A and B are shown apart, each in its own frame.
Chain A
Amino acid sequence: MAENTPVLELRDVNKSFGPIDVLHDISLKVHAGEVLCLLGDNGAGKSTLIKTLAGVHRPTSGTILMDGDEVSFDRPKDAQDRGISTVHQFGGTFPLMTIGRSFFVGVEPTKKFGPLKIFDRKTANETAVKAVQDFGITRIDDGDRLIGGLSGGERQSLAIARAVHFGARVLILDEPTAALGVKQASHVLRIVLEAKKRGLAVIFITHQVTHAMAVGDHFAVLIRGALAANFMRGEKSREEITDLMAGGEALADLDSIIEGYMETHEGHPPAPVA
C-alpha cells in the first residue's frame, strides 16, 4: 500500500460512556482501495469504534482525520455527506415501511409536482429492487412490499445494498455476513472486493476468520478497547489471527486444537476455504 494520505485516520481516539471506558487511544489509518478487517471478541469495542467514524458517537478525546483534514461529525448525516456509508450491526431497516421507502430513508429521491417536490416512489422502488436483485435476492420484485415481511437475511442484504448504493468514499460494514446464507455471504465478500477495486476504503467487521482472510488487506485487532495488533495481509498466519480474534485468551486452547488437527491431517493446518 502506497504511503499516500489515508482516507480516514484516527489519532488517539478515546471513547467512554459515563464511567465506562470503551476505547483506549486508538490510532488507525485506512487507505483508499484497502479493506481493513476490524477484529475482536464480543464487547471489544468494534461497533463503538465504527460508530465514532459514522458520526453516531463523538469521541471523548482524540481526532479523526479525513483526507488529512481534521473532521468532527456531530451527527450521522455529517459522515454521510462526506461519503462514509455504514451498515450497523443492528437495525437499519424499518419493518412497517415499504422496501422502496426504507431504502431511501433520509435521501429520498424527489420529482416535481407542480411547484412542489414530492417523493418519487417509482424511482425509489425500481432502484431498491434492482439493488437487492443485484445482490442475488431475486425473490424481491416489488418495492411496495413491507420490510417486515422479509427474512432477516433479506433485510440485511437490503441494508448492505443501500450502503453500497450511497457509499462514495468509505464503506463500513458491521458484521454484515452474520445473518446471511452461504450464497449471500459470498456475495457480500464479492461486493467488498468490488468496492475496494472502485477505490473505496472498506472497514469490515467479522467474527469469521475465513471471511476476514478472504478480503482483508489490513487487520486491526481490538482487545478490551485497545488496539492489540495492527498488521498487513501476510504478516501473520491464520492461526495467529484466529487467536487474536478470540481476544488472545483462547491461545493455549486453540493451539492444542490446531495441533491435534495437524496431527490427524499429516501436518496440515486447517485449510483456508477462501
Chain B
Amino acid sequence: MNSATQSVSTGTHGARPGLGVTLGRLARRPEAGSLLGMVAVFLFFALSAGTIFVSPAGFASWLNVAAEIGIVALPIGILMIAGELDLSIGAVIPASSLTLAIISGYYGLPEPIGIAAALAFGLLVGAINGFLVLRTEVPSLIVTIGTMFAVMGLTLGLSVLLTGSTSTNIVPSPFYKALLGQFVGGMFQVTIFWWVGFIIVAAFLLHLSPFGNWVYALGGDKISARNAGIPTERLTITLFMMSGFCAAFVGVGQAMVYQSAQVVGGQSFIFNSIMCVVIGGVLLTGGFGSVAGIVLGTITFSIVNQGIYFTGFDPNLGSVIIGALLLLAVLMNDTFRKMALTYSTKKKS
C-alpha cells in the first residue's frame, strides 16, 4: 500500500526498504493486530489439539463456521467503518431461510423464486433499516434492535399462519444443492467458496473503488462527508441493504445445507459477527478498518470457536478465550492505530 521510499524509524535511510520497513508498514495497517492474533491462536490450537486440528477435517470444521459468519461479517464490518451497526441480521438469517423453505419446500415453487424472494426480503429489511436510521436519527443500534424484533415476530407469525409449524423442510434439487448446499470433498461447505467471492467483492468495493473512500469519510465525519459532496443518505441505505442481502444469502445457504429452516436460530450471528469485525481491527466508532482485518478476525474467532473441541479443555473455556481475545484485540488495535497516526517520514525541510 505505501510508497516504497519511506523508512519508519529513521528518515535518513529513506530509500532502503528492508525488513524493518515492511514490518513498520504492516504495523500501521488496521489488520496488524488481527494478523498477530490469528497466528497466535492457530499455533496455540495446533500445539494443544494435536494433529487432528491441522488435518483437512480440522480446517473444515472452522472454515465452515468462518464462511457463514464471514459472509455476514464483511458487510457488518463495512457498516461499522461507516459508523453504523446492524443487529437485525440475527432475525433476517432465519427469516430468509424460512422464506426459501416455505416457498420452495412447503409450496414447492421453483428454487429461483424462493431464493429471489429470500434475498429480496433481506434487501427490503436493509432498506427499511437505512430509511429509519436516516429519518429518525435514532442510533442504528436501537433502530436495528427494533427491526430485529419486528422481523422475528413476523417470521414466527407468518410461519405458523402459513404452515402451522415453526419449522419447514426443503429438499433442494441437485443443481441448487450443489450450488449452495453441498460439502466439497465431503467436509468443506460450498459456502467457503462463496465467502471467497464475497471477500473479493468487498475488498474491491472498500479499497479500490471510490465507493470505499465514501465509506471511510462517512464513518470519519458524517457532516464533513456530506459537505464534501458525498450522497450520504443513499450510501447509508445501500450499506444497510448490503448487510440485509448478505444475511439473507447466509439464510439461503443454511436452508440448502441443513434442508430445513426454523424460526429460531441466527441470534448468535449478531454478537459473533461484531466480534469478528472488532477483533479484525475495525474501529467500533467508525472510520478505520480493512477487509483483510475482517477476514482475519473471522478466522481467529472461528478457530477458537471450533478448535476448543479438538482439545481436552472444557468447551466453555472457548468463550473465555474469545472474551479475552476481544479485549486484547481492542487494546492492541488502539496501539497500532496510534502508531499509524503518529507515523511520519521525519524528513527535515
Contacts and interface: CB of A to CB of B under 8 A. Distances in A.
Interface in A124-182: 125, 138-139, 141-142, 144-146, 148-149
B329 to A, nearest CB: 18
Given A95-B220, A142-B6, A145-B343, A106 B209 contact: no
Contact of B349 (A93, A139, A148): A139
B343 A149 contact: yes
Interface stretch (B68-76, B124-132, B152-160, B227-235): B227-235
A31 interface: no
A106 B225 CA distance: 8
Given A113-B208, A138-B349, A146-B341, A97 B223 contact: no
Interface in B202-218: 204, 208-210, 212-214, 216-217
A96 B213 CA distance: 11
A14 interface: no
B210 A110 contact: yes
Interface residues of B, number: 36
A45 to B, nearest CB: 18
Contacts of A113: 208
A144 B224 CA distance: 20
Nearest to B6: A142
B220 A94 contact: yes
Interface string A76-107: 11001000001010011111110001101111
Contacts of B228: 76, 92, 105-107
Interface in B292-349: 337, 340-345, 347, 349
Interface string A106-129: 111010010011110000010000
Nearest to A121: B1
B216 to A, nearest CB: 5
Interface string B24-65: 000000000000000000000000000000000000000000
A118 B209 contact: yes
B341 A148 contact: yes
Contacts of A139: 347, 349
Q: Is the interface of A mostly helix, strand, loop or mixed?
A: loop
Q: How large is the interface on A (under 10, 10 to 19, 20 to 34, 35 or more residues)?
A: 35 or more
B287 A142 contact: no
Given A75-B226, A91-B221, A94-B221, A117 B3 contact: no
B136 interface: no
B268 interface: no
B1 A144 contact: yes
A118 B212 CA distance: 10
Contact of B213 (A88, A108, A142, A144): A108
Given A76-B227, A80-B229, A139-B349, A94 B209 contact: no
B2 interface: yes
A119 B207 CA distance: 8
A144 B2 contact: yes
A96 B226 contact: no
A70 to B, nearest CB: 22
Contacts of A107: 228-229
A56 interface: yes
A101 B344 contact: no
A91 B224 CA distance: 6
Given A76-B226, A106-B229, A97 B345 contact: no
A54 interface: yes
B341 A141 contact: no
15 contacts: A77-B229, A97-B216, A97-B217, A97-B220, A101-B216, A105-B217, A105-B228, A106-B228, A107-B228, A116-B204, A116-B208, A117-B210, A118-B204, A119-B208, A146-B341
Interface of B: 1-3, 6, 204, 208-210, 212-214, 216-217, 220-221, 223-231, 283, 287-288, 337, 340-345, 347, 349
Instruction: Give the top 6 A-B pairs by smallest Cβ distance, nearest first.
Output: A94-B220, A108-B210, A106-B229, A91-B224, A77-B229, A106-B228
